[in-house]
Structure 1
Amino acid sequence: MLVVGIGARPGVRKAELDQAIDLALAAVSRHRGEVAALATLDRRMASLREFADDNGWQLIAFTADELAAEKVPQPSATVLAHAGTPSVAEAAALRAGTRLIATKRVFPRVTVAIAERVPA
């Protein structure tokens, strides 16, 4: 069961999300059928609701403070300045998942990270 963490700029299109997620999944030899949830910053939740619903994925949102509490491999000063947290995609994937299997991949208007949910 996978969680896709998403950082996205306002106005990002469905095609951009599809392409970024597909490329990130392919890089770790995984596919959409394994995805259970999309996780992101709470301010992006409304813009990603339809996309998550269309894919049959749960949408999970976290505050900037919650995401900032996650220790991530690739924090960003730029993301911190814009979002109030040094990571959105990696932190959201980790917070909603268990173990990061793909660190962030940055695309022009989307950043994707992938975590697994490992049963306890």
Structure 2
Amino acid sequence: MTEPLVLGVGVEPGTPPAHLADAVAALGEVTIAVVATIDRRLGEPSIDAVADGRTLLAYTTEQLDAVVVPNPSAVVRRLTGTGSVAEAAAILAARATGGAGVLVVEKQRGTGVTVALAR
């Protein structure tokens, strides 16, 4: 995939940047233009590291919870109040930046992180 994509990120507080970098690397050869997450994770070192030089968008629990996603999680809902962070954030940010808001990679789990890609 060479078109610029949106990376949706869910991250556990305090997750080392290397864990998120590993999860992104596992997505393969992609060009990420925008990083999106839940607003309460702004300032997390791993989010800051992956967003460096890219547009960073953040969404409230309510905004994320309004998005229909293919893989909602009861655990994420219990912890954050929404059934999805990575997939929902990717979809919302893709739409906000002129894309179709379609997932091209559904959520993938890493160590303390979840990532998804949308266009």
Q: Using structure 1 for the length normalisation, give the TM-score.
A: 0.86
Percent of aligned pairs sharing the same letter? 43
Q: How does 1:20-35 map to 2 (within 5 A)?
A: 20-24=23-27, 26=28, 30-31=29-30, 34-35=31-32
Which of 104, 108, 112 is the matching residue for 1:109?
112
Residue 60 (structure 1) aligned with residue 57 (structure 2): yes
RMSD, aligned CA? 1.1
Separation (CA, whole Å) in 2 of partners of 1:103 and 1:80: 17
Match of 1:89, as an amino acid? A
1:87 and 2:90 equivalent?
Answer: no
SS of the residue corresponding to residue 46 of structure 1 reads coil
Q: Does 1:19 align with 2:22?
A: yes
Q: What's the CA shift for 1:22?
A: 1.1
Runs of 4+ in 1 over 6 A off after TM superposition: none
Whether the 8 Å CA contact 1:36–1:57 is kept in 2: the answer is yes
Supply the distance in 2 between the matched residues of 1:63 and 1:23 (Cα, whole angstroms): 27
Q: Secondary structure at the match of 2:43?
A: helix
- Which is helix-richer, 1 or 2? 1
The answer to whether the Cα contact below 8 Å between 2:21 and 2:50 also exists between their aligned partners in 1 is no
Among candidates 79, 85, 100, match of residue 103 of structure 2: 100
> 1:67, 1:44 → 2: CA distance?
13
One-letter code of the match for 2:111?
P
Is the contact made by 1:90 and 1:114 (CA closer than 8 Å) also made in structure 2? Answer: yes
TM-score by length of 2: 0.86
- Which residue does the alignment assign to 1:49? 48
Q: Where does the alignment leave 5 or more consecutive residues of structure 2 unmatched?
A: 95-100
**Structure-2 separation of matches of 1:112 and 1:15:** 14
Task: Give, in angstroms, the shift of residue 50 of structure 1.
Answer: 4.4
After TM superposition, give the deviation of residue 105 of structure 1 in Å: 0.4
CA distance in 2, matches of 1:67, 1:110: 17
